[in-house]
Amino acid sequence: MAHPLIFLVAYLVLIPAGTAHNLESNEEGHVSLLLSSKGVDFAKDVLINKAVSTIIPLQLPDIEKSVKIPLIGKVRMILSNITIFSVNVSSSYVENGNPGLVLVASGATASLSMKWAYSYSTWLIVISDSGDASVQVKGMEVGLTVAFKEQGGTLELSLLDCGCHVQDITIKLNGGASWLYQGIVDAFQGSIGSAVENAISKKIKEEIGKLDSLLQSLPKQIPIDHVAALNTTFVDSPVLSNSFIEIEISGLFTANGDFAVPRNYDKGKKSSLFYNCPAKMIGISLHEDVFNTAGLVYLNAGCMHWTVDNSLDHSFLNTAAWKYIYPQLYLQYPNHDLSLNISATSSPEVKIAKNGINVTIYLDVTVNVLDDGKVIPVACISLDIYASCSPQVLWNKIAGTLKLKSFTMSLKWSKIGNVHLDLLQPVILALLETVFIPYVNLHLMRGFPLPLIHGFSLQNAEIHYTESKIVTCSNLLYT
């Protein structure tokens, strides 16, 4: 299991909504994330506590010295089993290091336990003793500066600077003579401080190396289902400032296992939020092309085809209901059951404006007569459906529901006479309101995942609209 120090830095980079900046990559992001200063503080505090709870106990190397004690002579002293078993951080902050991200924890204290032993020789005998001791480290400051660079759709992490400084140490010996106490304090106070500084700095360097490997191994796709996946490649290095952290990922839907971006979307459109969420911790911007590529992927996979038959109890699935709408149909096939094949002729068009989301869906509805086990196509109606969409955040997913606004229709072809479209309109309205829209909403309410680090979830999310994108502003909850 990866160390929480990894997730501390990863979270500060992987969850960020933003400000404008120039992208140098050929592809631009369609999903933009920004962690506000409020969100940075929350993530930092939660994950520092998590990191501390896992980093301890931290074992330090043994320390051995020969010390000259007045009236006694040369004494060999050894400190062993030196273990940091508690760390408390009183304050910390994150800021833009220009370049890099600076994380500093100050006013920290640490508690250590250890074993001590000594021995010295007289002209007659060897004298030795041992025991244990406790150590309090105060005024400890830990700092690191890291830099991130986008490379081939992944992030490379480098450690620019790292250090730990101990201000004061208090040692309490259990047992031993007074001269022993003073000898250990004089001999080992500086050595214990250096050991703590070196051990923590070494641990940080190890974890940064692991984090670099982790970032480069992050999947470039998040599977949605057996058909589609979300392209999660980074399109530029993170934007760091003292008030926010922003990243951009491609965010487009692709066929599962296929990294090719759908045609007409490969150049993308910049998705920086240009929308501030000052009262919230995080902002997530989704460009309308994210939803448009989803429709295109599912269309190309043959998923936008539905059959409505007599398994559904609808009166319009019998030619008797079409007696005046489609007279020749009823005359030729009186009281025959019908089935309807509904097929999308192109991917739905999603347009996001400041007043909401509008969706246009293009369908062909083929009317089939069921005659002695045969399915006989007799007519095809083309529909242009205009709907609004109400998005909502469910846990860590973005979901939504469609509401029919209007539709237009035309007769594409008929094999047995004319269709009275004005009389057909109530039938199509019933089909859309009772069958098609509920079916689509059933799938939309399943949602698709927002890019969040495991363990964090959105809380009290609000959805806002800007030109061509929706912005989710939310607080964060760690579980």
Two tokens, residue 325: 């709408």
Determine phi and psi for 203, rounding to 5 degrees: -65, -40
Nearest CA to 110 among 165, 183, 174?
165
Q: Is the pLDDT at 127 greater than 70, yes or no?
A: yes
The average pLDDT across 395-415 equals 95
Taking the C-alpha atoms of residue 282 and residue 16, their distance in angstroms, rounded to an integer, is 6
Taking the C-alpha atoms of residue 272 and residue 362, their distance in angstroms, rounded to an integer, is 30
Label residue 410 by pLDDT band (50, 70, 90): very high
DSSP string, 262-324: PTT-SS----------TTSSEEEEEEHHHHHHHHHHHHHTT-SEEEE-TTS--GGGBGGGGTT
Q: What is the pLDDT of residue 181?
A: 66
**C-alpha separations of 26 from 14, 34, 102, 313, 338 in Å:** 21, 22, 29, 53, 52
**C-alpha separations of 141 from 51, 94, 113, 116, 167 in Å:** 16, 14, 20, 27, 8
Taking the C-alpha atoms of residue 95 and residue 41, their distance in angstroms, rounded to an integer, is 11
| Per-residue pLDDT tens digits for 364-379 | 999 999 999 899 999 9
**C-alpha separations of 253 from 148, 208, 229, 268, 406 in Å:** 25, 31, 6, 12, 28
* Coil/strand/helix, residue 214: helix
Instruction: Indicate the angle between helix axes 37-55 and 4-14, nearest 10 degrees.
Output: 170
Maximal CA-CA distance, the chain: 128
pLDDT over 70 percentage in the chain: 85
Taking the C-alpha atoms of residue 131 and residue 42, their distance in angstroms, rounded to an integer, is 42
DSSP string, 398-427: EEEEEEEEEEEEEEEEESSS---HHHHHHH
Q: What one-letter code names the amino acid at 434?
A: T
Label residue 383 by pLDDT band (50, 70, 90): very high
Alpha-helical segments (H) within 227-308:
288-300
| Per-residue pLDDT tens digits for 206-223 | 888 888 888 888 888 888
Q: Which residues of 354-390 are buried (b: 16+ CB within 10 A; e: fewer)?
A: eeebbbebbbbbbbbbbeeeeebebbbbebebebebe
| Per-residue pLDDT tens digits for 211-268 | 888 888 888 888 888 999 988 888 888 877 767 788 888 889 999 876 565 555 544 4
Instruction: Indicate the angle between helix axes 178-217 and 4-14, nearest 10 degrees.
Output: 50
Q: What is the pLDDT of residue 178?
A: 52
Q: What one-letter code names the amino acid at 295?
A: G
Q: What is the pLDDT of residue 112?
A: 93
- Name the DSSP class of 429: H
- Name the DSSP class of 318: B
DSSP 3-state percent helix, strand, coil across the chain (nearest 5): 25, 45, 30
| Per-residue pLDDT tens digits for 137-166 | 999 999 888 888 888 888 888 899 999 999
Residues 106, 91 contacting (CB under 8 angstroms) = yes
Residues 424, 384 contacting (CB under 8 angstroms) = no
Tokens 């190397």 — which residue? 61
Taking the C-alpha atoms of residue 52 and residue 309, their distance in angstroms, rounded to an integer, is 61
Q: What one-letter code names the amino acid at 152?
A: G
The average pLDDT across 291-308 equals 93
